[in-house]
Amino acid sequence: RDATARVRAGSAPRQVAITTTPGFASLWLIPRLARFTGSHPQVDVRVSATLEVLDLERSRVDVAVRLMPVSRGKGPALFEESVVPLCSPALAKSLRKPADLANLTLLTVEYPDHSEAPTIDWEPWLKVMGLHDLRMKSTLRFTQYADAVGAAVAGQGVVIGRLPLLRELMREGRLVAPLGEGAASQRGYFVETSRRAAGNRDALEFAQWLREEAEAAQRA
């Protein structure tokens, strides 16, 4: 019986379940995830990318990366967010000053409850620039932020860039910020672990890996 118990324990699946926003998952986490799975080949990682704020215990999730107001952040902070208008290098030629936005297409996310204005994510930048109202020629709405970013890369309009999620696209020159630096959004990404994660060494190592990746990205 003891031998059978040891065999079963050794063959039990090692899993880490994480929940986060679709934008963080597709633009920041997934491009880096192979570094974790490469060093933890026996661990199955399950990513739930959703705008819904899941209850970690009820949903049996180990780790959450939440985008929250800095004043209400729970758990260790990965990084704070700043926002800035971004577009393709070709489109940047026609965007020299904020007034030029009136001639371009707004690329934005349509939230599930339709309660947010199309430019809600622009508000920190608009405030810094002293712009009380933003009018653009037309609007393209997407259900996922990554799709709006893809449209910006394709030169279809201007998206509000959430940094550092899009920093790599800027380093590659696929997106540029012709109107200058970003403005702090007063939000940040925070790592929260569930009670069940305390007994899951792989989950704790995953949370630590997230923090190390965030630190390395900010040094780069």
Q: How far apart are CA 64 and CA 173, in angstroms?
A: 31
Structure confidence at residue 8 as a pLDDT band (50, 70, 90): low
Indicate whether 87 and 158 sit together in one domain: yes
Q: Give 176-194 pLDDT, tens digit per residue.
A: 999 988 899 999 999 999 9
Per-residue model confidence (pLDDT) at position 206? 97
Structure confidence at residue 121 as a pLDDT band (50, 70, 90): confident
Indicate whether 73 and 113 sit together in one domain: no
Q: Is the pLDDT of residue 85 over 90?
A: yes
Amino acid letter, 112: P
Indicate whether 64 and 85 sit together in one domain: no
Structure confidence at residue 219 as a pLDDT band (50, 70, 90): confident
Per-residue model confidence (pLDDT) at position 168? 93
Indicate whether 93 and 74 sit together in one domain: no
Per-residue model confidence (pLDDT) at position 10? 54
Count: domains in the chain? 2
Give the CATH number for residue 117: 3.40.190.10
Q: Is the pLDDT of residue 4 over 80?
A: no
Structure confidence at residue 2 as a pLDDT band (50, 70, 90): low
Q: Is the pLDDT of residue 153 over 70?
A: yes
Indicate whether 95 and 128 sit together in one domain: yes
Indicate whether 66 and 161 sit together in one domain: no
Indicate whether 73 and 91 sit together in one domain: no
Q: How far apart are CA 125 and CA 84, in angstroms?
A: 6
Average pLDDT, the chain: 90
Q: How far apart are the first and last CA of the chain?
A: 53
What's the token pair of residue 199?
Answer: 């007994």
What DSSP string describes the chain?
-HHHHHHHHHHSPEEEEEEE-HHHIIIIIHHHHHHHHHH-TTEEEEEEE-SS---TTTTT-SEEEEEEEGGG--S-EEEEEEEEEEB-HHHHTT-SSGGGGGGSEEEEE--TT--S-TTGGGHHHHHHHT-S----SEEEEESSHHHHHHHHHTTS-EEEEEETTTHHHHHTTSSB-TT---EEEEEEEEEEE-SGGGG-HHHHHHHHHHHHHHHHHHH-
Structure confidence at residue 131 as a pLDDT band (50, 70, 90): confident
Range of the domain at 63: 2-79+187-219
Structure confidence at residue 1 as a pLDDT band (50, 70, 90): low
Indicate whether 51 and 75 sit together in one domain: yes
**β-bridge partners, 193:** 63
Indicate whether 151 and 167 sit together in one domain: yes
Q: Is the pLDDT of residue 35 over 90?
A: yes
**β-bridge partners, 84:** 161
Please, is 53 exposed, middle or buried when counting C-beta atoms within 10 Å of its C-beta (0-12, 13-18, 19+)?
exposed
Q: Is the dihedral of CA 135, 139, 144, 146 positive or negative?
A: negative
Could you give the percent of the chain with pLDDT greater than 70? 91
Indicate whether 60 and 17 sit together in one domain: yes
Indicate whether 91 and 177 sit together in one domain: yes
